[in-house]
Every structure is written in C-alpha cells, then in structure tokens.
Amino acid sequence: MSQEEFTPPGSCGSCVVCCEALNINTPQITKKSGVLCQHCTGGGCGIYQTRPQVCRGFYCGWRMIKGFGEDWRPDRSGILILVVPDHPAQYTGAATGFNFVILGGEAAIMRPGVSEYIAQLVSHDVAVFLSADSLKTLINDFLKDLVAAGNMPGVTKMLLHIYNLHLEAKRTGLLDADGNMTENALR
Ligand code: SF4
Ligand code: SF4
C-alpha cells in the first residue's frame, strides 16, 4: 500500500502484495484475492490520497511487528503475515494470533529463519495459522512436540506438509479460489 505517512515503523517501499493478495469487499472496492487492485500502479497506490478506509487502516505483520529484517518484506519473503484478532483464548502469548499466508511456494517456507521464527511463536503460546491464499489452519498442535524437541527440520517438514495439503484442497475443489469450502467438500 506504499507511501504510508505514519505509525508502524518502516514503510512499504515498493511492496504492493496486500493490494493483490487480499480479498476486499467494501462499498468502495471489491476485488478477489490474487487479483491486483485496479488502482495499483505496480509500485504503490494510484489513488493514495483518497484510498478507502479499509486500505488506510491495514498493515501486514511485517509492518506491525518489530524486529523483522528487510528480507521479511512480503514481496521479498513470499509470506504475507496477517494479524488474527479472534484467535483461540488458550493462546495467551500475544494479544492476537498470526496467519502466515504462503504466496512464494515451498521456497518461502524453506527460507532461513522462517521455521525458527514460527517455532519461537509456538513455544511462546502464540496462536499461529498457515494458509496458502485459502482457509487458514491453526498449526500449533501440529508443531508443539517438534518445537519442544528442538527438531527444526521436523518443523520445516510439517510446515511444508500443511502447505501442500492446502494446495491439494484447492486443486481438488474442496476450496474455491477465495478459500471458501465448496459443495464438493461437503460430499
Ligand atoms: S503487504 Fe505489508 S509491506 Fe506490502 S504493501 Fe501491504 S502493508 Fe505494505
Ligand atoms: S486502493 Fe490503493 S491501497 Fe487500496 S488496494 Fe487498491 S491500490 Fe492498494
């Protein structure tokens, strides 16, 4: 969303990932996930001064969370981190959960530091979700024993497995392009 005036540290630079990856359904803008917003110039917002409120108020996890390096910027990392306010109450490690939306394929998951960061969140009882531009899955229970054992290769393998299950669910029509359950999923 680029050229932010303000608060969370850093700036979007030339990243426009959220202007493409997110499903937006407001009176001002309607677009499907995976479709670049008609107002995006490719390096920023073409209607920046008059952009809708939904865009003004949005910051991805890379903008919100302190400590991420430049390599975590979504257009570089292939991972869009979304804040999940309505996470299950037993995860008390943070005020929100975090959804890691994998946009850059398996390479994004295998990038150095990704498994370690997710493992750190799990070890601190933060709700962690994974999605592939689809329904998100709470993944803490799948990772907690691997994390407790310090098994980082196992954590990476599990993340890849969950990611590929999401891809498979989309490919077989259990999920539509927006991540919603289709009628096939209910048969
Ligand atoms: S995905 Fe994050 S860094 Fe990229 S444009 Fe959106 S808010 Fe900015
Ligand atoms: S209106 Fe601007 S900030 Fe909002 S999605 Fe479109 S290009 Fe991005």
Please give the C-alpha separations between residue 80 and each of 144, 147, 151, 158, in angstroms, as whole numbers. 22, 22, 25, 19
CA–CA dist 34, 19 (Å, integer): 9
Atom of ligand 2 nearest to the CA of 48: 2
Domain boundary pick from 43, 58, 73:
58
Cβ-contact 7, 16 below 8 angstroms: no
pLDDT value for 184? 57
What average pLDDT does range 75-97 have in this prediction?
Answer: 94
Band the pLDDT of 3: cuts 50, 70, 90.
Answer: very low
Dihedral of CA 8/10/13/17: which sign?
Answer: negative
Pocket test for ligand 2, best of 29, 32, 60, 75 (most atoms within 8 A of CB): 29
Instruction: Take residue 2 and report the two structure tokens written for it.
Output: 């680029």
- 53-63 pLDDT, tens digit per residue, is 999 989 999 99
- Closest ligand to residue 62's CA: 1
Domain boundary, last residue among 11, 28, 58? 58
- Look at the chain and report how many structural domains it folds into: 2
Structure tokens at 21: 């990856």
Same domain, 64 and 117: yes
Ligand 2: residue of 37, 38, 56, 58 to mutate (most ligand atoms within 8 A of CB) is 37
pLDDT category at 5 given cuts 50, 70, 90 is very low
pLDDT at 175 exceeding the cut of 70: no
**Confidence label for 16 from pLDDT (cuts 50, 70 and 90):** very high
Whether 76 and 28 map to the same domain: the answer is no
For ligand 1, residues with CB inside 6 Å are 1-2, 12, 15-18, 59-60, 62-63, 73-74, 80
pLDDT digits (tens, 9 = 90+) for 117-148: 999 999 999 999 999 877 889 999 999 999 99
Structural domain for 83, as ranges: 60-187
**Predicted TM-score of the model (pTM):** 0.89
pLDDT (mean) for 35-61: 92
